Structure 1
Amino acid sequence: MADPARELSKPDINPDCGSEDFCRDPWLVHVSSSGQNDTIHHLWGLHGSPSFLLAKTPVAAKLDVNWSKLTAEEELSVTFQPEPSHVFGLVFPHLILYNDTNDKGQLNRSEDATLNLNMSDFSWTIVDTEYANHTNGGWASVTFNTTAFRGTPLPNDTNLSIKMFGYGNDGRSWKIPKLMYTPTSAQMELLLHRLVLNITEEDLEMTSDDSISMNGYVNPRWALEMVVVSSEPVVHGQDEDEKDIQLHQSTSLDDENSPGVFHLDEMTTRQSRDHKGSGGYLQWRPVSYLSDEKDINDATEPNLDTLAPLPKPLTLPLRASLAYAVLGEKMFQGNLSLASTTVSFGQPGDGFYTESYFTSWTVAVGEGQAPVEGFSTMIIVVISLGVGIPLIIFIVGGAFIGYRKCRREPSLLGED
């Protein structure tokens, strides 16, 4: 059953920030998706550790930003009145460059040389916003691009970008891997294009020249550290298979929307799995692409490590995030549902990052229950024809044989 369409607002960049110099940076983009009973607030922030959140509030709730506190990276500087009933999202503390010594496609910290880059060291700007609203929903998007790393401008053809989409209705993205979306979800497209960094303790060199190695690594790959945050309370004493945030995979019977990919991966909170009308989820196809064409021949894999509790070293970068501005110190007191993991991009034999200097990955971030994949109209028609035509032939053929038999029996009786 489709979710009712919602009224989607235009992207509001740094709401009520004023004319201060820091208001030019993408501290906070706000998009609201208002329904009959509640409002979903999309909160996207690229200052510090990039954060992408959904806050569920009563319909009339108002966003309040204390800009002096937010720019000082203080907790609870972004609030709502009344408070949200649920907050869910993800934070990216580090981008990791590693040397995939054994060409496994997945980061192994005990074997691979690694270089952790604080995402807060990147400078970001908004290069594009789009908005379309209609009676049956609509959509809004914002594209964030990096401009510098540790104050050094990036080459013109280097592109580390994140494009966020918010929606006011159910549907499916027109861009491969064509993930489903709902009026309570967002989608993120991550792109690492010609991102070549050579870093030592003393200096930093950035170049797009293919002849330059990446930090001396022969087999370089990128990985992304990811923290999933939910305001749901932790359930203590749970079994290993009943973690508050779980990762699971489902199998699809067709690959119409993502050629060559027959699986769908999900990360869900307890309330989302229990169908309590709340909770949150991440959903993605286990595929990333090595070119903008997103052809099956240019596909590789995003490999996730096992979900783990929040390690203490992440406390500092998380305090420099929009998630901390919304949830505050509760993130570190063991009362909220948090999990950390690492997404490594690549698979054995794909030539490493320097083969194409291109990696893209798409993931959906949603409130409530994840949408369930079903057969498209075309697949249903094909299956119906495949089953129906032989069945019709069987029925017609059987009827014809029966008819012939019935016609012959009277003639045989007449001969007697």
Structure 2
Amino acid sequence: FVSRCLREYLNPGLTPPLVLPQGVGLVHVRGLGQSDTLHFLLCNHGAPALLMVNTYSTQSAVQVDWPAFINRSSSGSLRVEPQTSVRYSRALVFTRVWEYDDVSNTADPQQTAESSFYPPYELQNFIWSDPKITVNQTGHTVTLCGREKTESFLNGSLCLQFSAFESVGRDQVWPNLRHNANSSQLRVWLDGVTPRGNRSRFALEFQSVGDSVFRERAYDCSCIDDEYKPFFFQVNTSANLHNVSDFCLHRI
């Protein structure tokens, strides 16, 4: 089985007198394999974003131009060197949370009338807490939680939790999804948010940007797992054809 050595770095290479704005952070999770490296970078400078890079080299490293990064004055403020070692890269930018009145109780926003949607919550306007890094027997996680200055989020928050893994196993958190050293998982939840309607549901909008070198596939699979959880659940998976990394969301 493939295994990786994982390490986490908070704001790598940032030194005084440079200072990040309050609540802004950049977390680098580095997964070193036998002949390649996975780099995951989670940032909440503006709309939160997750960058995933796979390199052919075990010596590849992340370099940050901190003055440009802080001022957001250049698109090249963050890169992986040597650039010739990059095999695959993709970024997910989480832009909005939508709330809609689910009149038909279908939990399907794509089949919901436009008039049923409330104005969205723009994640670039959220106030984020400092990233929280957790390491345990099953994986390495980074958690970001943020809120907006509105009545709905007065006592509530939106949380994004990214996880990477050293080896094959099963997540201890329900619904106990399987993982391996080439997998990553992202959990999203709302806590204490006051809905604007009696039948409100929420949806997360994100944009995916990346190389066109490798094709990607997205698929749904349904299964019953009686051994770990006697539930029927659906898993949405997006992966490139070289199985570098999996982006998984689950719903019941």
The TM-score normalised by the length of structure 2 is 0.84
1:12 equivalent in alignment to 2:14? no
- Structure 2 contact 144–160 (Cα < 8 Å) conserved: yes
Report the AA paired with residue 66 of structure 1: D
1:126 is matched with 130
Any residues of structure 2 matched to 1:206-285 within 5 Å, and which? Answer: 214-215=195-196, 217-233=197-213, 244-252=215-223, 254-261=225-232, 263-269=234-240, 272=241, 277=242, 280-285=245-250
Matched-pair contact (CA < 8 Å) for 2:61–2:82: yes
More strand by proportion, 1 or 2? 2
Backbone CA RMSD of aligned residues? 2.7
Amino acid at match of 2:106: K
1:303-318 aligned within 5 A: none
Match of 2:43 in 1: 45
SS state of the match for residue 68, structure 2? Answer: helix
Give CA-to-partner distance per residue, 1:164-197, whole Å, 9 cap, x none: 222211111011111122222222221201112x
Does structure 2 conserve the Cα–Cα contact (< 8 Å) formed by 1:165 and 1:186? yes
* One of 172, 175, 184 as aligned partner of 2:173: 175
Distance 1:170 1:24, change over 3 A: farther
Contact 1:132 1:140 in 2 (8 A): yes
1:82 is aligned to: 82
Question: Which structure has more helix as a fraction of its residues?
Answer: 1
- Per-residue CA deviation, residues 62-106 of structure 1 (Å, 9 max, x unaligned), is 211011222232212101111221113422111112222333222
Aligned partner of 2:122: which letter? N
Alignment: residue pair count: 245
Confirm or deny: 8 A CA contact 2:40 2:51 kept in the other structure. Answer: yes
Pair 1:132–1:102, CA change in 2 (3 A): closer
- Which is greater in Rg? 1
TM-superposed deviation, 1:32: 0.6
Cα separation, 1, equivalents of 2:233 and 2:108: 20
Alignment-mate amino acid for residue 142 of structure 1? V
| TM-score in terms of structure 1 length | 0.53
Structure 1 stretches (4+) deviating beyond 6 angstroms? Answer: none
SS at match of 1:223: strand
Unaligned runs of 5+ in 2: none
Separation of aligned partners in 2, 1:42 and 1:220: 33
| Partners of 2:122 and 2:233 in 1: CA distance | 34
